[in-house]
Structure formats: C-alpha cells, structure tokens
Amino acid sequence: MNNETILQVQGLMTEFRTERGIVNAVNDVSFSLERGKTLGIVGESGSGKSVTNLSILKLIQYPPGRITAGQVIFKGENMFERSEEEIRTVRGKHISMIFQDPLTSLNPVIKVWYQIAEALRLHHGMRKKEAKAKSIDLLKLIGIPDAEQRADNYPHQFSGGMRQRVMIAMALSCDPEILIADEPTTALDVTIQAQILELIKNLSREKSTSVIMITHDLGVVADMCDSVCVMYAGRIVERAAIDDLFYDPQHPYTRGLLDSIPRIDRAGGSRLHTISGAPPNLIDIPPGCPFQPRCEKAMNICSKQSPPEFIINGDASRTAACWLHAKEYNNG
C-alpha cells in the first residue's frame, strides 16, 4: 500500500501563444505523487506551478494554451490519450481541485448545497434529495455551523473562509484519490488559513487522499508537505523530501529563497538576504539556466547550457538542476 505511485507527470510542456510571442509556461516538468502523501509545489508568480496542475486535468484552454509534450499517468493510464468524455469522469471524481479565489470559483446565483451536490449527482447519479442530504453532511464535516440552514444560502452570504470550506466540500464530495489545492489559503487571513490547512490535513489523513499543494508560502509547505518541488521559470529546479529542502537546500535559488524570508522565530533587525533582479520574462528566457542572471554562483557554463536535473547522493527523488552538482553526477 505504501509508496504506491498514483500519479506520474513526465516531460510536461505547456505553452501559451500571445501577441508578443510564445510563453513557455511549463518546460519539461516531471514528478510523481504517492498515495496518501502531500507534495508541495513552490514557486513565485509566473513560475508555472498553477499551469502544471491545470495541465494534469487538461484544463488548459486552447487557444491560446497548448500542451505540447509529455504525459500524465494516473493509475497506469495516460490521461492525454483519453477522450474528453473519459477525462471528465476523472475530474472531480478521482482528481479534484481547490482554487485560490473562492469568490470567483463559486456561482453567485446558485445555492451552496446545489453547487456541492452537482458533482454527486453527475458522478454518483444521486437523486436531488439524497444529494442534498449528503451536501449538508459535507457542510457539517467541514465545520459550517447550522449546516441545514446555511445550505440554502448563496455564496455571498458566506465569509471568505467559509467559501473556501465550501470549495473543499465540493472537492471532497466524491472522495477523490488526489486533491490539487492551488494556493488554497492565499486569499485568507492567517487565523482562517490555520483552520483550512488543519481541515485539509485531517481529511487527507482520514481518507488517505494524496494532495498536491501549490503555494508560494514556504511556511505552508513546512506545515503540510512530505516532499517538495521548487519551480522557477517553468522548470523544476530542485526536488527533495521536506526536511532536506529546508535544512540542506542544493539549488542556489532555493537557498536564496529560504534566506530571504523574514521569520518570526528569528530576531529581526539585521538585513535580509536578497536575490538580486527579478524572475525572467517567459517569452524570452535567457539561454542556459533560467536562474543564471540572478545567481551568485553563476559559472561560464550556466549561461550557455541549461543544466539537467542532477541526482544528489544517489537518491532519485532528490535532484537539483544546477551545474554546481555536475561532478557529483559524474561520480554517482
């Protein structure tokens, strides 16, 4: 049961055609997810973390977006070879998503219970009455007080935290095997964030749901995840088990990121470490390593050739896409 790979993403490439040129939003991304585990995908805005996960469910709108290469293997089957009809049975039932902004993701003119019940009626063929009862159960499960009455409310009558709970109820209604949470707490206050993260943690533990947690907040990653992929300019630059990433980061970008966040558990006052410059424009990614113009340790080769993902300490799940590890690669 343990270590069973449930989802595998291989060589994923997604691009968007815009007036100014082709944006390579996701550039050769591979990772795998094990049953019952939580994988974090961290990166700054525009690093491709959301597009990666939308691509998994083929939710990229064409045009302008297009998945140009790669495969997504869910329980041994390549999702990209399936028909739209077949993918629809996977979405919501086996793999579901929680989006960042709970206000725009809910339909404002449809009652809350009806929106939760939609997936139940579609995937499980439940009748209206039965689906409503199940929806109310779900609202209770996620901690909405007076669930019977609140089920008949519209989304605007709910607070931001409650709306995000509703999104979670919808995502969990069909007991999915994978939950993709795309910045689920970014729009929320910290005390509400703590409630929502606790909820996701407990539910995934109880039902051994695998979770992909997309976030820019390294604190959330430390709290929630078993392993992490760090993305930069559409590529995975480092992957590691949670502790390795925080205590032994191998890519200069990860190291810089960890050093540059102010932390409440450390005394303030001293200057923060900074990463100079800004993330590259994805239309015009510099040749070689995308992080090279901002990297303190850039070498000659970095601006010429893009580094492959080097395996660190012989552990295939621990990689860094950085030429600094080239020697290690040769030895191991």
Partner 1 sequence: MADKDILLDVQDLSVHFPIEKGILFKRKVGAIRAVDGVSFIVRRGEALGLVGESGCGKSTTAMAIAQLQTVTAGHIFFEGKDLAAMSPEELRRERMNFQIVFQDPYSSLNPRMRAGDLIAEPLRIYARRGIITLSEDEIRKKAASLMDRCGLSSSFADRYPHEFSGGQRQRIGIARALALGPKLILADEPVSALDVSIQSQILNLLKDLQDEFDLTFLFIAHDLAVVEYFCSRIAVMYLGHIVETADAAVLYRQPMHPYSRALLSAVPLPDPRRERKRRRIILQGDVPSPSAARSGCPFADRCPEVMDRCRLEAPQLQMVDEEHEVACFLYASPSGFAL
Residues that bind partner 1 (CB under 8 A): 44-45, 145, 159, 161-162, 189-195, 197-198, 216-223, 242-243, 246-247, 256-258, 260-265, 267-269, 271-276, 278-279
Nearest to 324 by CA among 287, 298, 293: 298
Least separation in angstroms between residue 256's CB and partner 1 is 7
Residue with Cβ nearer partner 1 (57 or 199): 199
Biggest CA–CA distance in the chain, Å, is 67
Cβ-contact 250, 322 below 8 angstroms:
yes
Residue with Cβ nearer partner 1 (244 or 309): 244
Least separation in angstroms between residue 283's CB and partner 1 is 14
Residue with Cβ nearer partner 1 (56 or 188): 188
Residue with Cβ nearer partner 1 (63 or 145): 145
Residue with Cβ nearer partner 1 (191 or 330): 191
User: Residue with structure tokens 């009652």?
Assistant: 111
Least separation in angstroms between residue 122's CB and partner 1 is 31
Q: What is the 3-state secondary structure (H, E, C) of 10-52?
A: EEEEEEEEECCEEEEEEEEEEEEEECCCEEEEECCCCCCHHHH
β-pair type (65-74, 315-320) = unpaired
Least separation in angstroms between residue 89's CB and partner 1 is 35
Residue with Cβ nearer partner 1 (81 or 243): 243
What percent of the chain is helix, strand and coil (3-state, nearest 5)? 35, 25, 40
Least separation in angstroms between residue 241's CB and partner 1 is 9
Helices (DSSP H) in 151-189: which residue ranges? 160-172
Q: How far apart are CA 26 and CA 208, in angstroms?
A: 29
Cβ-contact 72, 7 below 8 angstroms:
yes
Q: How far apart are CA 72 and CA 284, in angstroms?
A: 27
Least separation in angstroms between residue 194's CB and partner 1 is 4
